[in-house]
Structure 1
């Protein structure tokens, strides 16, 4: 696992450089699209007998989900290094459970749940640091989702912002989000409805255009 983690760190740095060099459709576009509830797909159940752990399967998971995990982590973390820590913890958790045969759900669900909790922990730690050093000058923060949308997301509760990012960037159905959040489908629908309305209001207030 230590060897894998070292490779992940190297690939994270290369991926970051690639993201700077190549413009792709990212979380910003996905979040704007989500406000009109256009992000839907069928849920796929996890079958331990079919979805067995292999290095190739884990590599595929990493490739398919890294952008979303990074978006969640970077929304909360003030530096790339802290975001990398959140990402690494999330992927290592899935690696541990899956490789031991202890995984009983879609690996993406565990992955995003751990990433979301890690991001919230970072936000809480940041809040404590900001209160402690409120009188000191602050460095400007770079953000994976910037402009009016980034400012609008910051005005949402951390839980609501991360839920919107999960559906927008991950493309999860309500049923999958309910499993990730360990909540009812009705509760997820209600939370997303309120969060979208609040996001749309804040986005317009921040000068965003549809």
Structure 2
């Protein structure tokens, strides 16, 4: 399945590099750093192992877009990716696809990316677990919005953890406010539909750059 220039679609070309890896491609573990391979426990299934490898290869490709030598992306105490100095990034997986967003732009305090199957709708009962009343109004109109809001919230949770080292709960993220710029001015979210997937990107700017797009 072909994917276009995701960075361009998000309007972040030159600021954030986004790369996609699919299971249909040749996935070579040998391309990973030894430190990354050491993160794979022997108890993982082949599917879980391949998903991990795809994510790290997507990250490697995104970093290589800067024309620099790549370094291993390790793993933190909350299973979050630990990026090399000067890099910030995020990795997401869904089905047989992995996506990574990487930046060296110092104006970002944190970024987060997520990918969800646009055809995998969540009903209102499930949406109540992570949506506020304002969001549920849109979910009741169209169940697609539940999956969209889930994806956006996931990207915000990742970016927030990178920026502040704290995990925020999905229920505390109001997508309606974020999409309408009624929330914190230094937090921006965008989403696109690519093939059958929703891809969401959250950018949290440094305080001095809070008016950036």
Say whether the fold is shared (TM-score over 0.5).
no
Tell me the TM-score normalized by structure 2: 0.28
Larger strand proportion of the pair: 2
TM-score, normalised by the number of residues in structure 1 = 0.28
Relative to its length, the structure with more helix (as a share) is 1
